[in-house]
Amino acid sequence: MELAFGAADAAFRDEVRTFLDEKLTPELRATGRRMTSVYADYETTLAWHKALYEKGWVAPAWPVEHGGCDWSVIQHYIFSSELAAAGAPSLSPMGLGMCGPVLIGYGTPEQKAHYLPRILSGEDFWCQGYSEPGSGSDLASLQMSAREDGGDFICNGQKIWTTHANYANRIFNLVRTSKEDIPQRGITFILIDMDTPGVKVEPLIMLSGEHIQNQIFFTDVRVPKSNVVGKVGEGWTVAKYLMQFERGGHAYAPGLHTRLDRIRRMAGMESGDGNGRLIGDESFARKIAEAAAEITALEYTEHRIMSALSHGDAPGAESSLLKTRGTELSQRLTELALEAVAHYALPFQPHATAPGGPVPDAPSVTPNETPVGPDYSWPVTPKYLNDRAGSIYAGTNEIQRNIMAKAVLGL
């Protein structure tokens, strides 16, 4: 795996930087800097999605024949690094990073022809119907039913913690089409139009006040059998394939490196607008150095997975390693950022940040009122609080360690 920069790679980096200079507007950059969630808000997501789609770079990891980019591993790394360094907001992974790869791997020719172009263009905005009340980490215990009725399934049940379901027009769902002795059997992966009669979305407001999560109720929802991805009753296989991309289909390290550099500036350890409070603090400097070393170690694992993806492989069991280390390192950086901004972490001022959704009960702000503290401190506490979920979503890190123990170590 060649990772050295050659002349062609340097030219590609310059092309990416030129594109970002032209298309990454000040508003988009400001949102990227002030994000407090792993998701940008819906409007920002669509605007940035459109810019990348017009360039042909919205799904670079997809196979070329389906709209991906014929890039080398180093080009993928350059792209991710430059996006992070420029402060680009994130895109929703539900369509591009999850449903799309699953359709490429398991979809029928008709499903690919219909859905993949719509995912690329942003015409379809997807959400994920996995978790249910009582079925989170133990996903195989899910109970949402799908009963056969001629050429359709009649779906009844509930999904919960569904990100951006209030904006999505499509959902990929796990449903139970039969009850078997082994709970992983009898599960089917199915696509549902959110406008179908019987689908009802209700908000779940987070402790921070943000509306990002939702619960969805399905009452006698009629879905064509042609919307099944893979085989009926074998959705667990499809779901496991998808979760490899959810956990390990993107690179954590470029963003973590960028955030660590920002923390150094906050602390005054590098030239920047930090207050210099922690200059000369050996304990803090050691924490920064340890985090940098661990991010670099994660980075090289990501390089190996990027190489596998570029040859059409799935991430495999290493996706669990990436999810575990990526989310835990992210949480550690939120703690270092709190230490760096000190008392400026105390004010609650969501109006100064870019949360992943609206904050219905945010304090009202008059036009001449300015937030408390330097601008780099505003998203620190909300990001810390939001990131506590990182080791829970997409399968808890305890579950990921069980997967690694079984699949990698043979325990």
Report pLDDT for 275.
59
- Is residue 248's pLDDT more than 50? no
**Which are the contacts of 189, defined by CB distance < 8 A and separation ≥ 6?**
102, 106, 172, 173, 174, 228, 229, 230, 235, 238, 239
Do 269 and 161 lie in one domain? The reply is no
Tracing tokens 């949480």 back to the chain, one arrives at 331
Q: Mean pLDDT: which of 302-311, 320-329, 357-366, 385-394 is highest?
A: 320-329
Pairing between β-strand 170-176 and β-strand 187-193 as defined by DSSP bridges: antiparallel
Tracing tokens 């940035």 back to the chain, one arrives at 48
Percent of the chain with pLDDT over 90: 53
Report pLDDT for 154.
98
State which of 73, 88, 121 marks the end of a domain: 121
Decide if 47 is inside a domain: yes
The mean pLDDT value for 151-159 works out to 97
CATH, residue 173: 2.40.110.10
CATH, residue 288: 1.20.140.10
Please count the residues of the chain.
Answer: 411
**Residue 281 burial (C-beta neighbours within 10 Å; 0-12, 13-18, 19+):** middle
Report pTM.
0.84
Cross-strand pairs, 18: none
Give yes or no for a contact between 208 and 359, defined as CB atoms under 8 angstroms apart. yes
State which of 71, 98, 121 marks the end of a domain: 121
Do 303 and 199 lie in one domain? The reply is no
Do 139 and 71 lie in one domain? The reply is no
Do 353 and 260 lie in one domain? The reply is yes
Give yes or no for a contact between 179 and 233, defined as CB atoms under 8 angstroms apart. no
Do 261 and 357 lie in one domain? The reply is yes
Q: Which residue has the higher pLDDT, 4 or 240?
A: 240
The DSSP output letter for 375 is G
Decide if 345 is inside a domain: yes
d(CA 369, CA 367): 6
Do 353 and 227 lie in one domain? The reply is no
Do 132 and 237 lie in one domain? The reply is yes
Do 132 and 260 lie in one domain? The reply is no
312 pLDDT band, cuts 50/70/90, is low
- Is residue 274's pLDDT more than 70? no
Percent of the chain with pLDDT over 70: 90
Angle at which helix 318-341 crosses helix 282-310, to 10 degrees, equals 150
Decide if 220 is inside a domain: yes
Pairing between β-strand 199-205 and β-strand 187-193 as defined by DSSP bridges: unpaired
CATH, residue 67: 1.10.540.10
Alpha helices in 181-281 (DSSP H): 235-248, 253-266
Do 389 and 257 lie in one domain? The reply is yes
Report pLDDT for 114.
97
Do 253 and 190 lie in one domain? The reply is no
Report pLDDT for 245.
61
Decide if 257 is inside a domain: yes
Decide if 197 is inside a domain: yes
State which of 73, 94, 121 marks the end of a domain: 121
d(CA 261, CA 288): 9
Report pLDDT for 213.
93
> Looking at the 3D structure of the chain, how many domains does it have?
3
Q: What is the CA radius of gyration of the chain?
A: 22
The DSSP output letter for 363 is P
**Which are the contacts of 364, defined by CB distance < 8 A and separation ≥ 6?**
none
Do 192 and 284 lie in one domain? The reply is no
Helix (H, G, I), strand (E, B) or coil at 354: strand
Beta strands in 62-144 (DSSP E): 126-129
Report pLDDT for 403.
76
Residue-range definition of the domain harbouring residue 193? 126-242
Decide if 1 is inside a domain: no
The mean pLDDT value for 347-363 works out to 81
Do 155 and 220 lie in one domain? The reply is yes
- Is residue 98's pLDDT more than 70? yes
